[in-house]
Amino acid sequence: MRDKDLKRLALVIAYPALRHLPHAEWDEALEQAREGSFDTMEWLGIMAGVAFATYLLRFDADQAAALSLPVRYFIQFLAAVPILALIVGPFYLRRTRRGLDQEIERRYGPGPSVLER
């Protein structure tokens, strides 16, 4: 399987509504969808996720004394990336899916739901 085919498969899995657009329009539609604003639920989820990740990444006094400051920050950074991707990532995915639905509706007008097109 080529890289381009793998990317298209991953995009269709993450954003099922893309099936309703021609392949040539996918990049533009996703770019427009990502420009949408977050709703209240997404903002709250992101803030709670960041706060929870911060709580998980704290060092206790013994660990803090044993490691230098740059090493501590580097370890926290390496641990924060997957934690934030798992906790906060779904809220970004939700925003993009919602924006994609709005973009499809803008292009083709209101009517049947995206899944019925």
3-41: per-residue pLDDT in tens? 788 888 999 999 999 998 998 999 999 999 999 899 999
Q: Is the pLDDT of residue 117 over 70?
A: no
Instruction: Tell me if 32 sits within 8 A of 99, measured CB to CB.
Output: yes
50-109: per-residue pLDDT in tens? 999 999 998 887 777 888 889 888 989 999 999 999 999 999 999 999 999 999 998 887
How would residue 114 be classed by pLDDT, with cut points 50, 70 and 90? very low
| pLDDT at position 1 | 61
How would residue 116 be classed by pLDDT, with cut points 50, 70 and 90? low
Instruction: Tell me if 30 sits within 8 A of 100, measured CB to CB.
Output: yes
Q: Is the pLDDT of residue 42 over 60?
A: yes
Amino acid at 108: Y
| pLDDT at position 113 | 52
Instruction: Tell me if 103 sits within 8 A of 27, measured CB to CB.
Output: no
pTM as predicted: 0.78
